[in-house]
Amino acid sequence: MDKAKVLREIPSVDRILKNEKIKALLKDYSYSMVRESVRNVIDSLRTKVLKGSFSEINEESLIEEIKNSLNKRYSLQPVINATGVVIHTNLGRAILPQEAIKHVVEIAQSYSNLEYDLEMGKRGKRYAHIIDAVKKIVNVEAAVVVNNNAGAVFLSLNTLAHGKEVVVSRGELVEIGGSFRIPDVMAQSGAILREVGTTNKTRLSDYERAINENTALLLKVHRSNFKITGFTEEVSVKELCELGKQRGIPVMVDLGSGCFIDLKKYGFYGEPSVQEVVDEGADIVTFSGDKLLGGAQAGFIIGRSAIIERISKNPLMRALRVDKLTLSALEATLMLYLDEKEAIEKIPTLRMILEPPEKIKKRAAKILKMFKKHGIEAMLREDVSMPGGGSLPESGVRTYVVAIKTDKPDEFSEKLRQTQPPVIGRIKDDFVIFDARTIQEREIPLLVKAVKQIME
């Protein structure tokens, strides 16, 4: 290869900027951004030629690369989730409902009454917007929201039990993801852990014997990300609340993945609803906003007004509070729960988890048809997908996938991650699998384009 000859064929930055296809990009991007992208791509090309890894200059391919580089200008970008895991922590967990997105945009582009009481004409409280929304769905006295559920648990323990004992079953000392463990959160909050029972069996008498003059709280942690089966026994929320009332000790329940609908009637068991736990007498309940609830990342703290008032006055509340965009997304999501049918239809997380297999099969068939139209060999298969996000750990659900057989599935998957938008599937044996459960209708043409690009 004559490197000098190839280097001379590389077009100048000015020449590329005069290309009509590049000029068209100025409708969506600033001139400086486009120029920078052109310069970076040309510099990269020149380096490849000098290293001997590039031998032919194709201006059209160069322009496509410039377009792709502009699409990649942000580190955080949309991806196509073809894994079938609905609440995928690594992929951003819940997709917001359109109503929430619309409300976020409305609030983001204007000033708002975040901490202003419009009726009184003076400073108000930012959590008033959430309290009203929560009360319409759950029969509670008060509520606040912090940045995530770990923050909710930490703040509650720090407020109610700093320097005092919190009684919790050994079988509920869970790790909640990212190496964050309940005992560690408790230690940082200043609360003193008092374990009772064993990993598989904890009785009410274990709690009774542990209570002393330094006991501040009885804590029950819902094991939302795993199950213990076989020779087991645990104390129900109702039993623990009755004991708490007898001894004058508040009971806190960490649900982890909070849900506002009764999933049992849809065939999912072992995941209590928020209302169910409140009705059983819990004084304070914490849960996530971006798991089964299907909203923005947040940690809800709901319960008795006297307790919530104490938590609200904790100086750490300011450090853990959420901003106006999170509040607007949560408020709009919560309002959808006023009608359960509407919530299931419009909240993507609920819709994907509860979607009938027949509808998923129809979407998978559409993907397969489009693949075959472009000469891509694939097959439709029945499979199993998971809700994910530490929710419903035993609830594998029937799904349909489109599978492509390849000798190098890892390499194929790596190339999929480099497309725009990136596609994240899963590998099973020698197949790269696209689970139609989590592929959005609007993403199908993009998925097909990405696979076609790799095949070519």
Confidence at residue 389, expressed as pLDDT on a 0 to 100 scale: 55
Of the candidates 324, 323, 315, 256, which has an alpha carbon nearest to the alpha carbon of residue 291? Answer: 256
**What separation in angstroms does the CA of 152 have from each of 87, 147, 170, 210, 288?**
20, 8, 21, 25, 9
DSSP 249-282: --EEEEEES--SS-GGGGT--S---HHHHHHTT-
Element (H or E) spanning 382, and its range? Answer: strand 379-385
Quote the CA–CA distance of 297 and 288 in Å, as a whole number.
7
> Quick one: which of 224, 258, 218, 260 has its CA closest to 239?
218
SS3 (DSSP) at 444: helix
Taking 70 as the threshold, does the pLDDT of residue 395 lie above it? no
pLDDT at 1: 58
pLDDT digits (tens, 9 = 90+) for 151-172: 999 999 999 999 999 999 998 8
Structure-token match 């997105």, residue found: 101
Buried b / exposed e along 313-347 (16+ C-beta atoms within 10 A): ebeebeebbbebebbbbbbbbbbbbeeeeebbebb
> Buried b / exposed e across 217-246, counting CB within 10 Å, b at 16+?
bbbbbbbbbeeeeeeeebbebebbbebbee
Mean pLDDT of 59-84: 86
Averaged pLDDT, 117-130 = 92
Give the distance, in angstroms, between the CA of residue 316 and the centroid of all CA atoms in the same chain.
Answer: 25
pTM of the complete model: 0.85
Find the mean pLDDT for residues 282-306: 96
Express as a percent the part of the chain with pLDDT over 90: 65
Packed helices 182-189 and 149-161: angle between N→C axes, nearest 10 degrees? 40
How does pLDDT run across 167-187, given as a tens digit for each residue? 999 988 877 665 567 888 888
Angle at 294 between CA 289 and CA 297, to 5 degrees: 35
Q: What's the confidence (pLDDT) of residue 224?
A: 59
Helix (H) or strand (E) holding 107: helix 98-108
Whether cis (ω within 30° of 0) applies to the bond prior to 421 is yes
Q: Above 60 in pLDDT, residue 225?
A: no
User: What is residue 391's predicted lDDT score, i.e. its pLDDT?
Assistant: 57
Of 246-260, 265-279, 383-397, least confident by mean pLDDT is: 383-397
The contacts of residue 437 (CB under 8 Å, 6+ apart) are: 84, 86, 352, 355, 360, 385, 397, 399, 400
